[in-house]
Structure 1
Amino acid sequence: MSKLRIAIIGAGPCGLSQLLAFKQAEQEQRVELVCFERQSDWGGLWLYSSQIGIDAYGEPIHSSMYRHLWANTPKEVIEYPDYTFYDHFGCHLPSFLPRAVIYDYFTGRAKVNNLQRFIRFNTAVRYVDFDDKNNEFSVDVEDLNTCSMECIKFDRVIVAIGHYHMPNMTNIDGVNQFPGRVLHSHDFRGADEFTGLNLLIIGGSESAEDIALQCYKFGARSVTISSRHEPVGLKWPDEIKDAPMLVRMKERTAHFKNGSSVDNIDAIIFCTGYRHYYPFMAKRFRLHCGVTEFVPPNLYRSIFWIDQPYLAYLGATRYIYSFPMFDMQTSLVRDVFLDHVKLPNKDQMHTDVNEWKAREKSMLSTDILGLIDCETDYMRGLLALLCIHDNNQSLWKFDFEKAKNLAKKYLKNKLDDVLKFRDVSYESINGTENTKLIEVCKPWMKNMDDSMENFLRNYQN
């Protein structure tokens, strides 16, 4: 029996979860795995780079991470059921963690499982199409070190690059003539660059809120957040103010939809989200999805391309739970590709997508509580489809009700005190013996050192 040849594009959290899901099948000589990663190391979006624009190979910088970034969701709702933060660090940690700690955590699981051997780094995927005659995928890749091209054949293809790397910019009258600095949050690298400045942030997303807080924390003179939606009701300090939709800039003055204005703007940061961008996919397989859409079109369960179910996309939907959701998606991909689970026919898959789209249309894009309910039900649905075998046992440890209640509790705490919500800790939802709730050693607003060494020093014995 020949091995199933599987290509995984991207070695970020999704790609690493997928490699782990297939690990046993690879050991049993049932599959041949190749993961293509354009960057020189794994981690995907979480791999911080101080660079913006293009890298040394002329490739677009993938990461949107910035200095002093801390997670804006509790670690308890992003924790792997089979590999807890306690398992990795050997100590109890508070709920909100710096980027470097989270990066070390999820790449640590990959190291423990020796996943690096499947990855071809500095390798860019240039084109993917399906050969209907030979019933196989053709994947054209370029070795960025040697500039050599290669066409490789695969039976299955998994696109695991996520969708938070291509900035979505909006055109606003007068911005091109603005004399100050203009950037998208993708190119934001540190709040300390804006100390003493008056900032205008465009967008009402979580990134807009976090960058506003970061800039306030590092001494911005003022921050104005302009959004086309009604504010969610965060209790900002005096230096941060909500404003209606920006309609035009005139020199350094911002003019808003309700006729109000703010003068002396020094910099504009667009926090207007990201576009789904898969230029290497043949047009017939290229996913097009709205910036705020929860349910991607053409994908059954937001994963399988309906007209070619041997093609899967991972992390293409909006998400809160991230790592556990990725594990459930990748486990379903494995079970489908190994014929443990049979997908419905095309009509049934389209009906399923339409039902989810109808639910999405009934919600506002700013309804985070509704999104939590929707994502929780989505993950329940994934788990229900999985085949019952040893590889999936850990996924049943994920307590959906506890996760949902914890996520909603954290959002309430954020609404009550946006400056201190990261100082609150929660108990693990995984039901292990290591569920101790631990207090933060230093309030987030006063913690200016986000290095992993400094952070762990406070909690490791």
Structure 2
Amino acid sequence: MKLKEEDVDASLTSPSSESSGDVSSCPTVAVIGCGPAGMFFLHAMAARRKQFEEANDTKSLKKMPNVTCYEMSSSPGGVWRTADPSNEGGKARNTNMYQALWTNANSGNIEFFDYTFLDHFGKPMPLFLPRKHVLEYMIARATQHEDIFQHVKFNTTVKSVTYDKDMKKFVVVNVDANEEETTDYFDKCLWASGINGKPNFVKSVNNKLKEGKYEGTVIHSSQMDKIGADVKGKRILMIGDNYSAEDLALQCIKLGAERIFVTSRQCFGIVNGHVSWPEDRVEILRYSTVDGVKKGSGTTILTKGSHAGRKKGLGKHEIEDVAIIIFCTGYKPNIDILDRSLKPFLEGDDYDDWDSDEDEYGWEVDADWRMKPNLLTPYLGHVEPSDELEPNSDFVQESMYKRVNIENTNMLYLFENSIYPLLDIDIASHYCVRLVLNEIKLPTKEEMHEENRLQLLNAMDAPSQRFEIDSEYRKAVIERIDWDEFELEHELTLSWQTYGVECLAMSTDDANYPLPFRGENGEFTEAGKKMMQHCLLDVQSRWDIPKEDASWRTFRDTDTTKYTSMITGTKPISLKGRWIDIDED
């Protein structure tokens, strides 16, 4: 079943309460959101139902839960959809990707074990894909067993999710397209709306632009469709140095921008790994942050050195005639509708009544702890850890044990932890299905906290993770590491990728994922090895650009012969031309 994006709305059916077995005896599950996470969970549930049916396992079929999914938009896809003006006034109801977005990571790491590119497209595909092709592929895969959208209430906004301890039920207050409010009750709740719900405009930078009376256009990266072709001949400043800045810098070159400047405060973002940019139209302002608008100019932006930049005497610039400023600063979690006790981590006002000295999740290492030798040891030596270490890392959240809320294990979470979000979420969806079907015996609350502590302790040996966890280490890295030493930056990026794949491998074990990354002996399987190889090749594609090709080549023009599908062994094909010259997706 192949659905095109423009056909998705017409394919949707009304929600259904039908389920195998006696509905009244089945557990009920609320799924919040029908983006990739919601779709993948519903698909994994449908696959499990099909498995039980083929085995004539009536006992298991009777235990299948009754699932209701809530989605505020008129169709599935979440942020992978383009703007969805589905309410009055034409204002988009959620955060969306811009129309022209392409993937930054190779397509081989977003191919699904049960529905390959050959299954969907009928032929090998390029290494990097446009957004809309990925969305169509995800929807077709998710609907291969049944119409999963029968379980979805579209155009329905969830106002709040709380837990009634007396009833032992989750209370979901929601409003439909007719503004009718309903309260529903569930045994379990799955948060599938991700953590990228609200565009993040850095307040301090925004205030300086307003105070300086900046006269140009200011947008977030997710709003790129608002300006489109208007970038032609313009000078553009991007705030932030990671994947959205990378993609938009390339898009703006395509669209004919005169010059693109990118501020990079700490020089950790992916744009710093590029040795060249097409037509030399991108300038990375290393160790810099926006300081304001030159008085009386309206469009001359001043930058100053970041904390590390000032120590190096770098970061001060005066950029004239900046017509457009794009905040490539990511997103804030959109978890406001969750009761404080149900959130995967604390944020914003939730910290107001939080005493870190009494916090049971706070932690510290033993006095004699020493970090294992690594790439940065020759530069930093031993860095004494902070007295109080951050209880969150890329792969551990303070209120969660893997995918469950520690205090209420019927509250589950589906959001990405890695730079390969679709694969990450798909693996996690299988784990959540196992949780919902009570196939996993969870440890005690004390054991969950201890496992988290041990994982954080292990993460403290990885420079990229300790940087997030330990403020003293972060300070030392910023002040004492010279990221202009290109080889060091590359090696550290590779080590971060390796750690990420190792964490994904652990997730496949927990989920009994049909495509395991690690064998019983603890070594990577062939799929795991290919995943690792793909990750390293992705990084190298940014810096392995021959000088003679620097005027046009991008990482999306890399040599495809080094990649092979983890599932079919098929090699991706090259693009039909230079990526920078391709007008249509």
TM-score normalised per structure 1:
0.88
Identify the residue that residue 476 of structure 2 maps to in structure 1. none
Most deviating of 232-241 and 87-96: 232-241
Map of 2:581 onto structure 1: 446
After TM superposition, the structure 1 = structure 2 runs for residues 101-250 of structure 1, keeping only pairs within 5 Å, are: 101-113=133-145, 114-144=147-177, 146-170=178-202, 171-172=204-205, 174-176=208-210, 177-189=213-225, 191-230=228-267, 232-234=272-274, 235-236=276-277, 237-243=279-285, 244-250=288-294
The structural deviation recorded for 1:64 is 2.9
SS where residue 272 of structure 2 aligns?
coil
Q: How far is 1:440 from its partner?
A: 1.7
Is 2:231–2:257's contact at 8 Å kept on the other side of the alignment?
Answer: yes
Say how many residue pairs are matched: 441
The alpha-carbon distance between structure 1 residues 57 and 155, as it changes in their structure 2 partners (threshold 3 A), is: farther
2:111 aligned with 1:79, yes or no? yes
Alignment check: 8 A CA contact 1:299 1:353 kept: no
CA distance in 2, matches of 1:404, 1:186: 30
Q: Is the 8 A contact 2:196 2:334 kept in 1?
A: no
Partner of 2:463: 362
Q: Shift of residue 337 of structure 1?
A: 2.1
Counterpart of 1:415, as a letter, is W
Q: Give the Å deviation of 1:296.
A: 5.1
- What RMSD in Å do the two structures reach over aligned CA positions? 2.6
For residue 20 of structure 1, report the CA deviation from its aligned partner. 1.5
Contact 1:202/1:270 (CA < 8 Å) preserved in 2? yes
Contact 1:191 1:211 in 2 (8 A): no
Query: CA–CA distance in 1 between the matches of 2:554 and 2:232?
Result: 21
Asked whether the 8 Å contact 1:300–1:352 carries over to 2, the reply is no
Question: How far apart are residue 165 of structure 1 and its match?
Answer: 2.7
Instruction: Check if 1:393 corresponds to 2:508.
Output: no
2:123 alignment partner, one of 83, 91, 95: 91
Structure 1 position 270 matched with structure 2 position 327: yes
Q: Contact (CA 8 Å) 1:298, 1:305: kept in 2 or not?
A: no
Are residues 1:423 and 2:557 paired? yes
Relative to 1, partners in 2 of residues 1:17 and 1:436: Cα closer, same or farther, differing over 3 Å? same
Counterpart of 2:300 in structure 1 is 253
Q: What is the rounded CA distance, in whole Å, between the counterparts of 1:409 and 1:178 in structure 2? A: 41
Quick check: 1:125–1:139 contact (8 Å CA) kept in 2? yes
**Matched position secondary structure for 2:143:** helix
**SS at 2:514 equivalent:** helix
Give 5+ residue unaligned stretches, structure 1. 451-461
1:6 has 2:47 as partner: no
Contact map agreement 1:165 1:186 (CA 8 A) in 2: no
Between the aligned partners of 1:167 and 1:343, the Cα distance in structure 2 is 35
Kept in 1: contact 2:345–2:399 (CA 8 A)? no
Partner letter of residue 44 of structure 1?
Answer: G
Q: Which residue of 1 aligns with 2:423?
A: 324
1:343 aligns with 2:448: no
Change (3 A) 1:259 1:59: closer
Give, in angstroms, the shift of residue 61 of structure 1.
3.2
Deviation at 1:168, TM superposition (A): 1.4
- Is this contact kept in 1: 2:273–2:542, CA < 8 A? no
Q: Cα distance, 1:202 vs. partner? A: 0.5
Mapped to 1, the partners of 2:328 and 2:571 lie a distance apart of: 36
Unaligned runs of 5+ in 2: 1-21, 51-60, 305-314, 349-391, 469-488, 518-524
CA drift at 1:50: 6.8
Structure 1 counterpart of 2:404? 304
Partner Cα separation in structure 1 for residue 176 and residue 526 of structure 2: 39
Cα distance, 1:315 vs structure 2: 1.1
Give the AA of the match of 2:403. Answer: I
AA partner of residue 317 (structure 2): S
Q: CA deviation at 1:333?
A: 1.0
CA spacing shift, 1:342–1:273, aligned 2, 3 Å: same
Q: Which residue pairs with 1:18 in the alignment?
A: 41
Q: Which residue of 2 aligns with 1:456?
A: none
* Distance (whole Å) between structure 1 residues aligned to residue 95 and residue 445 of structure 2: 36
Displacement, 1:158?
0.4
Aligned with 1:282 (options 328, 333, 339): 339
Distance apart, 1:372 and its partner CA = 2.2
Q: Which moved more, 1:259-268 or 1:152-161?
A: 259-268
Q: Percent identity?
A: 26
Q: Which structure carries more relative contact order (alpha carbon 8 Å, separation 6+)?
A: 1
Note the C-alpha offset of 1:394: 4.5
Report how far residue 438 of structure 1 moved.
Answer: 1.9
- Greater helix percent: which structure? 2
Structure 1 residue 368: Cα displacement: 4.4
1:289-330 residue CA offsets vs partner (Å, 9 max, x unmatched)? 68995235234454211111111111153x222222212101
d(CA) in 1 for partners of 2:91, 2:451: 37
1:302 to 1:213, Cα distance in 2 relative to 1, 3 A: farther
Q: Distance in 2 between matches of 1:17 and 1:440?
A: 29
Cα shift readout 1:396-417 (whole Å, capped 9, x = no counterpart): 6881221111111121112233
Aligned equivalents of 2:124 and 2:511: distance in 1?
32
Q: CA deviation at 1:247?
A: 2.0
Q: Residues 72 and 157 of structure 2 are in contact (CA less than 8 Å); yes or no, is this contact kept in structure 1?
A: yes
Judged with a 3 Å threshold, the aligned counterparts in structure 2 of structure 1 residues 278 and 372 are, in CA distance, closer, same or farther, namely same
Which letter does structure 2 place at the counterpart of 1:180? G
User: Quick one: structure 1 residues 3 and 46, their matched pair in 2 at CA, closer, same or farther if it must change by over 3 Å?
Assistant: same
Equivalents in 2 of 1:446, 1:207: separation in Å?
Answer: 20
Render the CA deviation track for 1:421-452: whole Å, top value 9, x for unaligned.
212325333242x61342221221010112xx
Residue 328 of structure 2 is aligned to residue 294 of structure 1: no
Contact 1:325 1:379 (8 Å CA) reproduced: yes
Q: How does 1:376-415 map to 2 (within 5 A)?
A: 376-387=501-512, 392-394=513-515, 399-415=527-543
**For the structure 1 residues 316 and 322, does the alpha-carbon distance in structure 2 shift closer, same or farther, using more than 3 Å as the test?**
closer
Aligned residue for 2:571?
436
1:222-251: per-residue Cα shift (whole Å, max 9, x none)? 111012112624123422101122222223
Cα distance, 1:123–1:87 mapped onto 2, change above 3 Å: same
Kindly tell me: are residues 280 and 220 of structure 1, through their superposed partners in 2, closer, same or farther at Cα, counting changes over 3 Å? same
Deviations 1:104-145 (A, max 9, x none): 10011123222111111111111111111121111111112x
8 Å CA contact retained: 1:197, 1:221:
yes
* Correspondence 1:47-58 to 2 at 5 A: 47-49=81-83, 55-56=87-88
Closer, same or farther in 2 for the Cα pair 1:334/1:57, shift >3 Å? Answer: farther
Indicate how the Cα distance of structure 1 residues 431 and 259 shifts in structure 2: closer, same or farther if over 3 A, else same. Answer: closer
The one-letter amino acid paired with 2:181 is M
